[in-house]
Amino acid sequence: MKFDKEQLQMVLALFVVAVIAATLLGLTDIFTRGPIAAAEKEALHSALAQVLPAHANDAQADMFVIGREKQALSIYPGKDKAGRLNGFAWEVTAPDGYAGSIRILVGLYPDGKIHAIRVTGHKETPGLGDGIVNNAGWLAAFAGQELDSRNWKVKKDGGDFDQFTGATITPRAVVKAVKGALAFFASKRELMLAAVAEEKEQP
């Protein structure tokens, strides 16, 4: 099949446009990657400051990983000025929110009690499911709890945690995910303590 001059010019023009667009996209990615990473780091720093017990270290710098590949979790330890461990934080995901997955940062004391939790990402309905972010009293109810201290269900399911008016699925998903985080800690506590001790011993 032969192309006439006009068709060749059109093909060449499309090629040039595609090259320019790809170049612009590449440059945009290069120039925005750093600021986006910095913003994400600052957001995580702020969230860690809320869920970890008072600490003097850079929890992100001291982060270690438990598990491998898809099961790997980034664990952020909190330490005092003397380097003594005073808490752990990590992010869990509730896959069964009303409008999608809910990301939750959980902060625990070394004995397994919750210091605080914060929702770091969700798509729940404004005015209903977003109470997991805006209802400070509901979030505060998790503080001081541990795996065996509560019936980890919402009251509608016979448990101890309130649901929101018109929204049960969202708080149910969060309560279930936080319980899962406590169960994870119960099974991995010695491994996590050993990871912190190993880090402390390194020169």
Residue 13 has what pLDDT? 78
pLDDT digits (tens, 9 = 90+) for 33-46: 665 556 566 778 88
Instruction: Give percent of the chain with pLDDT exceeding 90.
Output: 56
Residue 72 in this model has a pLDDT that exceeds 90: no
C-alpha radius of gyration, the chain, whole number: 23
Q: How far, in Å, CA of 143 to CA of 145, rounded?
A: 6
Contacts of 67 (CB under 8 A, 6+ apart): 73
Higher-scoring residue by pLDDT: 133, 138: 138
- DSSP letter at 126? T
Query: What stretch of H or E contains 164?
Result: none
Residue 15 in this model has a pLDDT that exceeds 90: no
Contacts of 21 (CB under 8 A, 6+ apart): none
Return the minimum-mean-pLDDT range out of 126-135, 141-150, 188-197.
126-135
Residue 1 in this model has a pLDDT that exceeds 60: no
Q: How far, in Å, CA of 98 to CA of 100, rounded?
A: 6
Mean pLDDT of the chain: 86
Residue 130 has what pLDDT? 76
Residue 3 has what pLDDT? 56
Domain segments of the chain as ranges:
52-201
Residue 37 has what pLDDT? 56
Q: How far, in Å, CA of 135 to CA of 148, rounded?
A: 24
pLDDT digits (tens, 9 = 90+) for 82-95: 999 999 999 999 99
pLDDT digits (tens, 9 = 90+) for 138-175: 999 999 999 999 999 999 999 999 998 778 999 999 99
Higher-scoring residue by pLDDT: 124, 7: 124
- The answer to whether the Cα torsion of 163, 165, 168, 173 is positive or negative is negative
Residue written as token pair 């972010």:
133
Question: 187-191 — which CB contacts under 8 Å span 24+ positions?
Answer: 188/66, 189/112, 191/66
Residue 104 in this model has a pLDDT that exceeds 90: yes
- DSSP letter at 153? S
CA distances from residue 3 to 10, 11, 13, 19 in whole angstroms, order as listed: 10, 10, 14, 22
pLDDT digits (tens, 9 = 90+) for 52-64: 999 999 999 999 9
Q: How far, in Å, CA of 177 to CA of 184, rounded?
A: 10
